[in-house]
């Protein structure tokens, strides 16, 4: 290379032999270029050398909050690390940036709730007498509303063992047969919350026939997957559970999800946005979506929702499935929100392998457009526990029943559970609470 540069310089110089000023300027520029190039090399070679040495002194564990696949493993481990680090005793002393959307205030390491935790930037902590430092950065969202983050954890030394031990310490282990994976709606994606304990369907006490009726409906739905597709039907089913507060609607949904061994997706009315429900439902394939207190979503309410002014229809379709009150009312005019939520359930872009449960304490507040067949396939009342169901409860937990000569009235399941928790070891006190309940003003 130097020979080439020398030859080029000689030819260039000879061309300007009679032009001394040009020749001098050229020599000056060439000399400066050579000196500059050598200087750059002298600066960069040591820097490169030092960086190479430094990179050999530590080991790094890095991962993102999301991945290119549909697997949510990355998201779970990302959240698990933030929760774990927020509990590290050094976090309060050494971390200079915090966020209010990262930590868990409970004792369950697998549970994610709002709190304070590590924010973007560098954090230093000690674990098992070893120094670690972590850098949290935000990645480009690539046109979505989902925030994406990258975590880099480093430790001095060449061994992978300290980082692998740390990973084993904070990571969420694979779920077992008794765990229920639970997600919650967040913007336009499902955010993993926790692994909950499955609820045995045999511990659900609802009046005779109702649970069996629902399980029969769902078992048939699952078995007829090919039939739905062969006949060009959306492979989804939507069930409205309605009844007084505290009758166990939400608990029943969790128990049914456990029975079906599916993932539970919780959609709260506060999460509702005009365009996000369709995307969320379509991404809940193979799961059970729980839409609690659906009457709180303005888009599905009747314009007239004052229950004192509404007639009640007690006509029964079958012993365990009833019609909700059907009023002819003008549907809300809400700038397209109504059509958005209705089309999400049975629109052009159909759902595939999705079970939807909606709950309400006030079925008369729901508009007929939402309740119509094809959107809501079944409307099932969950009433207060009657005498027979209360006897099944006491037989299960106390191996006793309330004497037939004692008069009791129907009681919400939540109230029964309250009396049981207060008197779990004393049946007589439990029975006394049940008897006294008939005199309480609700």
Per-residue pLDDT, 27: 61
> pLDDT tens-digit profile of 400-417?
999 988 888 899 999 999
Per-residue pLDDT, 121: 84
Q: Report percent pLDDT > 70 for the chain.
A: 65
Per-residue pLDDT, 308: 44
Instruction: Output 147 or 195, whichever has higher pLDDT.
Output: 195
Per-residue pLDDT, 102: 44
Give, as one character, the DSSP assignment of residue 57.
T
Give, as one character, the DSSP assignment of residue 399.
S
Least confident of 44-48, 88-92, 158-162, 193-197: 44-48
Single pTM value for the model: 0.63
Cβ neighbours of 257 (radius 10 Å) = 25
Query: Does 216 score more than 60 pLDDT?
Result: yes
Least confident of 34-43, 102-111, 144-153: 102-111
Residue 245: pLDDT band by 50, 70, 90 thresholds? Answer: very high
Among candidates 341, 297, 208, 194, which has minimal Cα distance to 254? 194
φ, ψ for residue 100, nearest 5 deg: -100, 20
Cβ neighbours of 370 (radius 10 Å) = 23
- CB-based contacts of 46, cutoff 8 Å, min separation 6: none
Residue 275: pLDDT band by 50, 70, 90 thresholds? Answer: low
Per-residue pLDDT, 290: 93
- What is the rounded average pLDDT of the residues 202-229? 93
Structure tokens at 225: 């997957």
The pLDDT mean for the chain works out to: 76
> pLDDT tens-digit profile of 285-302?
899 999 998 888 776 776
Bridge partner residues of 321 (DSSP): 318
Q: Report percent pLDDT > 90 for the chain.
A: 26
Per-residue pLDDT, 307: 46
Q: Please answer whether residues 178 and 197 qualify as being in contact, where contact means their C-beta atoms are separated by less than 8 angstroms.
A: yes
- CB-based contacts of 340, cutoff 8 Å, min separation 6: 274, 275, 277, 278, 299
Among candidates 241, 269, 271, 272, which has minimal Cα distance to 254? 241
> pLDDT tens-digit profile of 338-384?
567 777 777 656 788 999 999 999 888 888 888 888 888 999 999 99
Return the axis-axis angle of helices 249-260 and 210-223, rounded to nearest 10°.
40
The rounded distance, in Å, linking the Cα atoms of 41 and 157 is 30
Residue 112: pLDDT band by 50, 70, 90 thresholds? Answer: very low
Per-residue pLDDT, 26: 60
- CB-based contacts of 124, cutoff 8 Å, min separation 6: 90, 94, 95, 131, 132, 133, 134
Instruction: Output 285 or 112, whichever has higher pLDDT.
Output: 285
Structure tokens at 364: 């008369």
The rounded distance, in Å, linking the Cα atoms of 324 and 327 is 9
Among candidates 107, 109, 102, 99, which has minimal Cα distance to 79? 102
Per-residue pLDDT, 246: 92
> pLDDT tens-digit profile of 2-51?
565 566 556 555 655 555 665 565 666 666 666 666 666 556 666 655 56
- What is the rounded average pLDDT of the residues 51-72? 66
Q: Kindly list the domain boundaries of the chain, sorted by start residue.
A: 19-56, 58-170, 179-302+337-381, 387-438
Query: Does 85 score more than 80 pLDDT?
Result: yes
Domain spanning 179-302+337-381: CATH 3.40.50.300: yes
């Amino acid at each position: 290379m130097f020979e080439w540069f020398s030859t080029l310089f000689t030819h260039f110089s000879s061309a300007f032999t009679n032009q001394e000023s040009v020749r001098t300027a050229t020599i000056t520029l060439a000399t400066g270029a050579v000196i500059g190039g050598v200087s750059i090399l002298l600066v960069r070679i040591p820097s490169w050398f030092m960086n190479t040495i430094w990179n050999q002194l530590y080991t790094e564990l890095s991962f993102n909050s999301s991945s290119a696949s549909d697997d949510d493993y990355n998201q779970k481990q990302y959240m698990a690390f933030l929760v774990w680090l927020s509990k590290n005793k050094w976090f309060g002393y050494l971390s200079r940036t915090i966020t209010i959307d990262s930590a868990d205030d409970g004792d369950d390491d697998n549970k994610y709730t709002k709190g304070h935790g590590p924010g973007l930037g560098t954090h230093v902590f000690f674990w098992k007498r070893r120094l670690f430092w972590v850098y949290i950065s935000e990645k480009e969202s690539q046109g979505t509303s989902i925030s994406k983050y990258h975590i880099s954890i480093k430790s001095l030394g060449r061994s992978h063992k300290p980082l692998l031990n740390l990973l084993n310490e904070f990571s969420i282990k694979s779920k077992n047969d008794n765990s229920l994976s639970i997600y919650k709606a967040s913007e336009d994606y499902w955010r993993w919350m926790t692994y909950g304990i499955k609820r045995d369907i045999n511990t659900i006490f609802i009046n005779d026939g109702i649970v069996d009726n629902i399980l029969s409906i769902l078992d048939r739905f699952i078995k007829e997957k090919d039939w739905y597709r062969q006949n060009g039907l959306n492979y989804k089913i939507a069930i409205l559970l309605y009844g007084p507060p505290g009758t166990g609607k939400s608990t029943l949904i969790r128990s049914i999800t456990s029975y079906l061994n599916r993932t539970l997706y919780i959609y709260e009315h506060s999460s509702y946005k005009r365009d996000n429900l369709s995307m969320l439902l379509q991404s809940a394939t193979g799961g059970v979506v729980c839409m609690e207190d659906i009457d709180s979503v303005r888009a599905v309410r009747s314009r007239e929702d004052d229950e004192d002014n509404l007639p009640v229809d007690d006509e029964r379709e079958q012993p365990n499935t009833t019609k909700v009150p059907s009023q002819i009312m003008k549907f809300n005019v809400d700038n397209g929100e109504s059509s958005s939520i209705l089309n999400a359930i049975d629109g052009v872009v159909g759902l595939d392998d999705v079970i939807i449960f909606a709950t309400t304490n006030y079925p008369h507040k729901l508009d007929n457009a939402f309740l119509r067949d094809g959107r809501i396939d079944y409307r099932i009342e969950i009433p207060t526990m009657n005498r027979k169901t209360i006897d099944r409860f006491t037989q299960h937990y106390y191996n006793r029943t309330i004497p037939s000569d004692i008069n009791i009235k129907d009681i919400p399941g939540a109230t029964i559970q309250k009396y049981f928790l207060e008197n779990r070891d004393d049946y007589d006190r439990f029975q006394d609470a049940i008897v006294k309940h008939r005199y309480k003003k609700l």
